[in-house]
């Protein structure tokens, strides 16, 4: 997909920029007196409930994983104010959103329980026997 019209999240998922809305406000931090007069803080909001970019299953996974970042409408909200310019904060917010969504969509591998091998069982039993003999020897009950 084109970077100008879509925000690439994964090779298979890209969010249309039409679903993203930006809001600028004044921010604290670096910039000296300049910070008091310029609106460099960027709030990026992704309309998750109405997004056509994700399936219902993906939407539910994102909703549960990013519950702390959702507003009352269910939209994902990311704030960036660490840079001096609005454009840099905008890029930073986009990168952060893509990273959050990527991690939320990651499905961990299911753990398959494994059995100990015969050799490892024998090793454990022989180590236990050796430990027991050592303690019996300390008690003075050696055969």
Determine, yes or no, domain membership for 16: yes
Checking DSSP bridges between strand 41-46 and strand 76-80, what pairing results, if any? antiparallel
Per-residue pLDDT of the chain (143 residues; tens, 9 = 90+): 567 788 888 888 889 988 899 888 876 666 666 656 677 888 999 999 998 888 999 999 999 998 988 888 889 999 988 887 888 999 999 999 999 999 999 988 999 999 999 999 999 999 999 999 999 988 876 55
Strand partners, 8: 14
Determine, yes or no, domain membership for 33: yes
Determine, yes or no, domain membership for 115: no
Counted domains in the chain: 1
Determine, yes or no, domain membership for 42: yes
The domain in which residue 15 lies consists of 6-105
Determine, yes or no, domain membership for 139: no
Please give the model's pTM, rounded to 2 decimal places: 0.70
Hey, is 123 helix, strand or coil? helix
């Amino acid at each position: 997909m084109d970077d100008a019209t879509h925000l690439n999240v994964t090779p298979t998922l890209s969010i249309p920029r039409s679903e993203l809305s930006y809001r600028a406000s004044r921010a604290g931090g670096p910039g000296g007196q300049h910070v008091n007069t310029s609106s460099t803080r960027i709030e990026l909001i992704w309309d998750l409930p109405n997004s056509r970019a994700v399936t219902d299953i993906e939407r539910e996974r994102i909703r549960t994983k990013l519950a702390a970042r959702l507003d009352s409408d269910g939209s994902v909200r990311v704030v960036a104010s660490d840079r001096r310019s609005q454009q840099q904060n905008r890029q930073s917010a986009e990168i952060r959103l893509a990273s959050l969504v990527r991690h939320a969509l990651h499905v961990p591998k299911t753990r398959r329980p494994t059995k100990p091998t015969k050799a490892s069982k024998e090793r454990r039993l022989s180590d236990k026997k050796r430990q027991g003999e050592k303690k019996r020897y300390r008690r003075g009950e050696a055969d």
